[in-house]
Structure 1
Amino acid sequence: MSNKGGHQARKRFGQNFLHDPGVIERIVRSINPKPDDAIVEIGPGLGALTEEILAVNPTLQVVELDRDLIPVLRTKFFNYPEFRIHESDALKFDFSQLVQDGKPLRIVGNLPYNISTPLIFHLLEQAGVVKDMHFMLQKEVVQRLAAMPGDNNYGRLGIMAQYFCKVQPLFEVGPGAFRPAPKVDSAIVRLVPHQQLPHPAKELGLLQSVVRTAFNARRKTLRKALGGLVTAEQLQALGINDGLRPENLTLADYVTIADFLADQKSAHDDVQDVSND
């Protein structure tokens, strides 16, 4: 199905172009762009959102993978000399290179559904250079980002997003706002990186590993799900009920387990150092 830009939406890029003016206006209002913001749009598509942001912020930069769209965007926005297009895969793109004068980035985008989860993980790693993020995502992904312990949608994505950011679901968007219409509902979410992490882990890699291991066996009890990492006795000593399931633990609980493992690792390394002396 073609649209007025004459560009065929490509399945391999997960493209669904936003065309509903009311929805576009509501998204822009939520973002509330200012002329001197450092704004980066991921996957501008045919430029529906781009057009509205550029009208306020002429230094907007975009990251687009589909090289067929780049001439369309250059032509459409030729009268914005400071508009920059980075032809790149957002999953591999180093967003920190766009920071100038220490000004944190405001990242926006209608993210392709097929890469949204890995892309969010990629962006969370760069949260230190980000002021906020506003994304259109599959509604289920927004539910997972915002889920609390005990919720069916609660898991690795939500825990790690909430480790780095305050997550605010804003509003839902029906399939009719896109061409072609996707088979799922969408939603807009705002992610605001914490100025200070509420539960900083001693070793981020260990926290990620604990959370991944736990949710790989989310139906099992903690003593089974984390059996290879900690014993039931150790969990109990940390004040954590080993009979709970992974989805019942808070972010703080996971940080407690990861920090315990970090301390053990460091004690083990100290012993190794002594024995090697």
Structure 2
Amino acid sequence: MGHSKYRQDGHAPRKRFGQNFLHDPHIIHRIVQSISPQQGETVVEIGPGLGAITEPLLKLCGAMQIVELDRDLVPKLAERLGPLGEVAIHQADALKFDFASIRQGDQPLRVVGNLPYNISTPLIFHLLSYAGLIKDMHFMLQKEVVDRLAASPGTSDYGRLSVMVQYRCAVTKLIDVGPGAFNPPPKVDSAVVRIAPYLELPFPVDSESDLAELVSSAFGQRRKTLRNNLKHLMDDADYAALGIDPSIRAERLTVEQLTQLANQLSDKRRAQ
């Protein structure tokens, strides 16, 4: 049954938007349960496709904000969702969209999306610039991206993406999703992740740009040691001050240790 309603509405998935429409009712139900939207919350969906997740969410929360790039989908979504609740559809590129503009009062945003692979990382970083306005984000992503977002130190998936997102947010992998849940089936496995910005950062830094530079350099050549990758930023005295062994690789360091190194770097720069 799952496929038929998509064929009736005549919208063929478009490659250039990376569209793969979710149709598995079991997976849809599990995602909606994980999000558990409440009446009165500001739920924002990015790229709803044909509304497979939007419909059950809207029935629960009564009103939604939608950001959709494909202008051909906008009237179809409006027609389909209109009877189910209040919907504001913004035909826009989520990577450039001002998420502060749809906040209602001091209600935090709850962001949801089935994101195409090519925009998932830049979009998460764009949304992190609004972290103070966001309660949580639930995304369906390529499984390898979710594995990197949620990775622990000492694993091969742990890298710049893990650190920069985990610095700001608690990250939880929720559900693995096989290709058969989509039409057309993608060539990769997917997974659902919850990313919840911290109200107070557990390991704050003096300068986020210093942290970004340090993490980018530390993981720049994964096989090299900290001493080699950070030789333009740190010397042995800096590591000694923090009790960090410079002969290990960056992937062995916790987010806390990397923030300590970033603060050491900021102190050095202020002293110069």
Per-residue deviation, 1:24: 0.6
Contact 2:59 / 2:84 at 8 angstroms: preserved in 1? no
Q: How many residues get paired?
A: 268
1:124 paired residue number? 128
| Structure 1 unaligned residues grouped into runs of 5+ | 269-277
Contact 2:140 / 2:192 at 8 angstroms: preserved in 1? yes
Q: 1:6-17 alignment to 2 at 5 Å?
A: 6-17=10-21
Asked if 1:93 is matched to 2:97, the reply is yes
CA offsets, 1:13-62, max 9 Å, x none? 11110011111111101100111111000100011111111111221011
Asked if 1:236 is matched to 2:237, the reply is no
2:261 paired residue number? 257
Q: 1:1-277 alignment to 2 at 5 Å?
A: 3-4=6-7, 5-80=9-84, 82-268=86-272
- For residues 214 and 94 of structure 1, the distance between their equivalents in structure 2, rounded to whole angstroms, comes to 32
CA offsets, 1:48-87, max 9 Å, x none? 1111111112210110011111111112123256300011
Q: 4+ runs of 1 displaced by more than 4 Å?
A: none
TM-score (norm 2): 0.95
TM-score (norm 1): 0.93
CA-atom RMSD, angstroms? Answer: 1.5
- For residues 259 and 122 of structure 2, the distance between their equivalents in structure 1, rounded to whole angstroms, comes to 22
- For residues 199 and 52 of structure 1, the distance between their equivalents in structure 2, rounded to whole angstroms, comes to 37
Contact 2:47 / 2:113 at 8 angstroms: preserved in 1? yes
Corresponding residue SS for 1:77:
helix
- For residues 111 and 144 of structure 2, the distance between their equivalents in structure 1, rounded to whole angstroms, comes to 21
CA offsets, 1:210-267, max 9 Å, x none? 1011111111011111111112332233211110111111111111111111112222
Contact 2:179 / 2:186 at 8 angstroms: preserved in 1? yes
